Amino acid sequence: MELNSQIKTALADPDKKILLMTHIVLGYPSLETNRQVIEQMVANGVDLIEMQIPFSEPMADGPVIVKANQEAIEHGITVRRCVDFAREMTATHAIPFLFMTYYNIIFKFGVEEFFREAKEIGIRGFIIPDLPPEEGEDFFALSRRYGIAAILIYAPTSTPERMRELARYSRGFIYCAARKGVTGKQTDFDASFNDYMRTCRANTDLPLAVGFGISSKEDVDYLTGKADIAVIGTRTINLVEEQGVAAVGPFIAGLR
């Protein structure tokens, strides 16, 4: 089943007014910790997980995730180890898993080979923040050929025309950055955010995910009815650092 169908099936559950997607950095602080965190997330109701393959210059990420990327690389994580770990996760858990990374990783690996392996192991989508449609014709063609959703990003600065153009290439869902800047900083929801979400909704038929600074039940409650997926990233990394893996499950369970 392709990602869009999986999302629509999950949203049809009357007990889920909004889906939860979490983000982890593979290899930080270790793959064993990643394994335990994912188990906690799935057991407590997460609907999708994006697994970040570390990159040395993660331009869309804030200081917490940048640090996690750097430390994972310093500790010896490789793309091959990330792919092998993903194979284990997709075989163990039934929810959709996505890869998030930067295009140089895929280019170095071999673009079609990356798609081929991702398809083989059951990855449902790719989030590649530094690859616009104008520079990724082959990538987006392979996305369609292999049935792996290319997920593009709307920003508060995106015009309606640009949103419609991005929607032509995107599959699965649209990732709506809740504010300008990078991940991690708390987002303030206001009238301008509501206007932005209405503009997003008007310019695509795809489900909308909102990330960047989503960190509490109050945030998830606010997004319910405006978005289809709430994305939590930096907060869970901080939780593991401050309180350990055991804190992740109760946090996720308390988000809705």
Catalytic residues: 50, 61
The stretches of 23-102 forming alpha helices (DSSP H) are: 31-43, 63-74, 79-92
The closest of 80, 71, 79 to 33, measured between CA atoms, is: 71
66 contacts 97 by C-beta, under 8 angstroms: no
Q: Residue 98 has which token pair?
A: 């996505």
Cα-Cα-Cα-Cα dihedral sign, residues 157, 162, 164, 166: negative
Query: In this structure, what DSSP letter does residue 50 have?
Result: E
Say if CB 139 and CB 111 are below 8 A apart: yes
DSSP 26: T
Q: Residue 133 carries which DSSP code?
A: G
Q: How far is CA 208 from CA 99, 176, 194, 223, 255, in A?
A: 18, 7, 13, 10, 18
DSSP labels, 182-203: -SSSPPPP-HHHHHHHHHHHHT
- Separation of alpha carbons 177 and 88, rounded Å: 30
DSSP string, 109-140: H-HHHHHHHHHHHT--EEE-TT--GGG-HHHH
- In a 3-state reduction of DSSP, which class is residue 110? coil
